[in-house]
């Protein structure tokens, strides 16, 4: 027969750890160094910024942001340095021209409005295939020619009222001649070959 002690359940000791009695007074057996823990309110999480909406307008504004413009003093300093270096180069070039008896002056290479328009005019003629290098086949670039003609047109509009009489006459004549040549060339491309009668578009309706 099994011993009665073996059938007994293990003894549990219940300890009253309450620090206050039913009247709300501190129990006398509560250690003085232990104070009731005061539950601290948990700090509220900092509000996180919501997701920023990226729009095409904001991207476009960022891409189109221009760098800071140099100050007036910086621009003046660079302009003076440019003029000094150009004068030094002109002096060296003039000595070479005089030594070879070229009969030219460095002023012939200076850029002005008329030379600028003339360079655009010549570029457009080459793009239209009307001017080409000796021995080379003329090649037309109608898209490039149209862009160059439009560039001269923009230049004429932006400088209107600020040009001398000869400059205004020159740019207007260049535009007239180039536009006329462009219209003739593009019309010749779309025109049917000679001797071939184009079909009557209304023949099937009769």
Within 42-140, residue ranges assigned H as helices are 56-63, 72-99, 113-127
What residues contact 36, with CB distance under 8 A and at least 6 apart? 19
Q: Count the residues in the chain.
A: 206
For residue 20, the SS3 value is strand
Q: Contact 199/146 with Cβ under 8 angstroms?
A: no
For residue 21, the SS3 value is coil
Q: Which residue has the tokens 């009247």?
A: 23
Is the full-model pTM beyond 0.75?
no
- Read off the DSSP letter of residue 203: G
Helix and strand counts by DSSP (H, E) for the chain? 6, 0
Give per-residue pLDDT as tens, 3-18. 555 555 555 555 666 6
Q: How far apart are the first and last CA of the chain?
A: 128
Q: Which pLDDT belongs to residue 15? A: 60
Q: Which pLDDT belongs to residue 135? A: 76
Q: Cα separation of 136 and 53, whole Å?
A: 57
Q: In the chain, what are the domain boundaries?
A: 74-110, 111-192
Q: Which pLDDT belongs to residue 205? A: 47
């Amino acid at each position: 027969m099994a011993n009665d002690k073996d059938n007994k359940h293990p003894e549990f000791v219940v300890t009253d750890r309450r620090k206050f009695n039913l009247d709300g007074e501190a129990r006398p057996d509560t250690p003085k160094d232990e104070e009731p823990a005061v539950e601290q309110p948990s700090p509220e999480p900092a509000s996180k910024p919501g997701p920023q909406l990226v729009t095409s307008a904001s991207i476009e504004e960022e891409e189109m942001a221009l760098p800071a413009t140099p100050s007036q003093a910086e621009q003046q300093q660079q302009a003076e340095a440019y003029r000094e270096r150009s004068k030094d180069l002109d002096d060296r070039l003039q000595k070479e021209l005089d030594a070879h008896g070229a009969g030219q002056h460095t002023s012939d290479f200076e850029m002005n409005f008329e030379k600028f328009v003339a360079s655009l005019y010549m570029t457009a003629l080459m793009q239209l295939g009307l001017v080409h290098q000796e021995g080379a086949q003329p090649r037309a670039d109608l898209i490039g020619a149209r862009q160059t003609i439009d560039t001269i047109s923009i230049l004429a509009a932006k400088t209107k009222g600020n040009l001398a009489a000869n400059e205004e006459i020159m740019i207007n004549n260049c535009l007239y001649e180039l536009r006329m040549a462009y219209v003739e060339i593009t019309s010749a491309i779309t025109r049917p070959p000679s001797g071939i009668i184009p079909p009557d578009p209304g023949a099937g309706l009769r």
